[in-house]
Amino acid sequence: MSEWWTYRLSDLLMFSKATYFRLFELQNLALWPFQLLAVSIGIALLICLVQGGARAGRIAAALLALAWLHVAWNYFAQRYATINTGAPYFALGFALHAVLLFWLASRKREPRLAQPVGSLGRLGLIIAVIALLGYPLLAPLSGRPWTGAELFGLAPDPTVALSCAALLLWRSGVMLWIVPLLWCAISTATLVELHAGQAWMLPILALLAMGARLLTAVRSRG
């Protein structure tokens, strides 16, 4: 038997690129017309982020929490688990992050949620728009059908990308960045092994958001 350290990620992936992206198509076909509600929630969340203020921030955090919870259950636990044995652990991580977001939304006096957008915050809004509108375009641009589009609130990558944008706008602390960044690493490694052209989209968006967040922290200390 080969030693465990000789294994590569490709040896652990028991599915093909076609099988991986087929999951999104099957999910969309099964959930239609829930996609219309998911898009509406995403737009409402974006409006809340643009508007700013404590009340809008709490609403945005609650909507994000619902999105993470839905991805945890409907995607990871119900679908991804059929091809990846690690999916239940991913579902647990997403559910725990949803709890953190619900906790954030429940805090009536949370100054971070009322932060003004500012110059670096505009980058967060751009990332949020890409998460909402850019990710669905990846399917047809990659030669896949529109029915396989990855949507916020249904697929993990656009959900995490929009969350990173919100965390930047809210100038959130380390705790709320842990799960999104962990998923960025997992998703990137998986897509690289599958030779998917979109492999670097999520890490680029996440690093832009995290870099801008660190810059705001340095500026505030200065």
Task: Answer yes or no: is pLDDT of 13 > 60.
Answer: yes
Report field, pTM of the whole predicted structure over 0.85: yes
Average pLDDT over residues 199-222: 87
pLDDT of the residue at 117: 61
Within a domain: residue 1? no
Q: Which two tokens stand for residue 43?
A: 């737009």
Q: What pLDDT, on the 0 to 100 scale, is given for residue 217?
A: 76
Over residues 86-100, the mean pLDDT reads: 97
Give, to the nearest 10 degrees, the angle between helix 34-51 and helix 156-170. Answer: 10
Q: For residue 216, what pLDDT band results from cuts at 50, 70 and 90? A: confident
- Residue 66 C-alpha from the chain's centroid: 12
Q: What is the pLDDT of residue 1?
A: 44
Give the Cα separation of 122 and 168 in Å (integer).
Answer: 10
Residue 37, class by beta-carbon neighbours within 10 Å (0-12 exposed, 13-18 middle, 19+ buried)? exposed
Phi-psi region of 143 (alpha: psi -120 to 50; beta: other; left: phi over 0): left
pLDDT, one tens digit per residue, over 109-151 is: 765 666 656 666 788 899 999 999 999 999 999 999 999 999 9
Question: Which pair of tokens denotes residue 66?
Answer: 């619902």
Q: Are 132 and 48 in contact (CB under 8 A)?
A: no
Number of domains in the chain: 1
- Cis, peptide link before residue 33, omega less than 30° from 0: yes
* pLDDT score at 115: 62
At residue 12 the predicted structure's pLDDT band, cuts being 50, 70 and 90, is: low
Out of 30-34, 117-121, 191-195, which region has the weakest mean confidence (pLDDT)? 117-121
pLDDT surpassing 50 at residue 7: no
**At 69, is the pLDDT very low, low, confident or very high (cuts 50, 70, 90)?**
very high
Q: Quick check: is 200 in a domain? A: yes
Cα gap 50→71, rounded to integer Å = 24
The confidence score (pLDDT) of residue 131 equals 96
The C-alpha atoms of residue 64 and residue 162 are separated, in whole angstroms, by 9
Burial 86-117 (b: 16+ CB within 10 A, else e): ebeebbebbbebbebbbebbeeeebebbebee
Least confident of 62-71, 118-127, 170-179, 193-202: 118-127
> 194: domain range?
15-221
Considering the domain boundaries, does residue 2 fall inside one? no
- Taken in order 158, 156, 82, 31, the sign of the CA dihedral is negative
pLDDT of residue 5: 46
Candidates 147, 123, 129, 126; CA nearest to 210 is: 123
**Is 8 inside a domain boundary?**
no
